[in-house]
């Protein structure tokens, strides 16, 4: 996507597309005016789990779509969005978790990951099973690198990047357990040059 910056020399129309005329050597894309429904722009965020004798698989995962907002800088973003993913019963006693924070390239930040048992038996107070680990100490990374000049942020280098827990967690096995994985998600659309540099 090439964003419109500055005033054009002239405007014209070709069908339902507005064409903006700029000086030679400059290329811009005009706004497309249509009555078709807008396709939401956003990211899928997903959590996988496995026992020590299993591999990660789509059947052992949950995900949700989070719509992004278009910022004043012309880039789409997700700002400090709470993610709460309900996990099914029967996860196993010893479980390894993987967070696939986003499914598109860009800048990403995951904060305050928690595994909560909503049915703790203590009235309406939930029991925290996994205590907010520090990602760069307790998780390893795939297709991610630290973002320059942005502490706590990562640059995704592919459509398949993730945070993988370095050890398994012991989970309660009582039938009343009702687990939910929670975290705060931030995502910023990256300029094409940034993504190409990371993938090179």
What is the per-residue pLDDT across 146-164, written as a single tens digit (0 to 9) for each? 888 788 898 887 778 888 8
Ramachandran area for residue 163 (φ above 0: left; ψ -120 to 50: alpha; else beta): beta
Q: How confident is the model at residue 193 (pLDDT cuts 50, 70, 90)?
A: very low
Is 12 a residue whose pLDDT tops 80? Answer: no
What is the per-residue pLDDT across 32-68, written as a single tens digit (0 to 9) for each? 444 455 567 899 999 999 988 888 999 999 999 999 9
Is 106 a residue whose pLDDT tops 70? Answer: yes
- Give the CB-side neighbour count of residue 1, counting CA atoms within 13 A: 12
The CA-CA-CA angle for residues 79, 137, 76, to 5°, reads 20
Lowest-confidence segment of 15-24, 58-67, 113-122 by average pLDDT:
15-24
Q: Take residue 35 and report the two structure tokens written for it.
A: 């009555």
Residue 130: the pLDDT is 63
Is 5 a residue whose pLDDT tops 70? Answer: no
Q: C-alpha distances in angstroms, 145 versus 103, 164, 192, 200?
A: 15, 14, 16, 13
What is the per-residue pLDDT across 120-148, written as a single tens digit (0 to 9) for each? 555 455 566 665 555 656 788 888 888 88
Which range among 24-28, 97-101, 178-182 has the greatest average pLDDT? Answer: 97-101
130-134: which pairs have CB atoms within 8 A and are 24 or more residues apart?
A: 130/97, 130/169, 133/165
Break the chain into its structural domains and give their ranges. 1-36, 42-199
Question: Could you tell me how far CA 192 lies from the centroid of its own chain?
Answer: 18
User: Which is higher by pLDDT, 148 or 181?
Assistant: 181
List phi, psi (to 5°) of 158. -160, 180
Q: Rounded distance, CA 110 to CA 78, Å?
A: 11
List phi, psi (to 5°) of 47. -125, 130
Contact between 97 and 49 under an 8 Å Cβ cutoff? The reply is yes
Ramachandran area for residue 3 (φ above 0: left; ψ -120 to 50: alpha; else beta): beta
State the distance between the two ends of the chain, measured CA to CA, in whole angstroms: 20
Q: What does pTM read for this prediction?
A: 0.71
């Amino acid at each position: 996507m090439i964003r419109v910056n500055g005033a054009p020399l002239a405007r014209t129309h070709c069908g339902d597309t507005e064409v903006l005329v700029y000086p030679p050597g400059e290329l811009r894309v005009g706004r497309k005016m249509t009555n078709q429904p807008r396709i939401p722009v956003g990211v899928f965020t997903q959590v996988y789990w496995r026992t020590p004798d299993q591999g990660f698989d789509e059947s052992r995962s949950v995900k949700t779509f989070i719509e992004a907002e278009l910022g004043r800088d012309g880039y789409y973003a997700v700002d400090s969005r709470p993610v709460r993913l309900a996990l099914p019963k029967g996860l196993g006693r010893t479980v390894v978790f993987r967070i696939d924070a986003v499914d598109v390239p860009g800048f990403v930040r995951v904060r305050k990951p928690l595994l909560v048992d909503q049915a703790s038996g203590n009235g309406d107070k939930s029991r925290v099973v996994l205590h907010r680990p520090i990602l760069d100490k307790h998780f390893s990374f795939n297709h991610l690198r630290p973002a320059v000049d942005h502490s706590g942020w990562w640059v995704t280098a592919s459509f398949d990047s993730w945070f993988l827990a370095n050890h398994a967690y012991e989970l309660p096995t009582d039938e009343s357990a009702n687990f939910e994985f929670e975290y705060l998600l931030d995502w910023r659309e990256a300029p094409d040059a940034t993504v190409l540099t990371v993938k090179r």
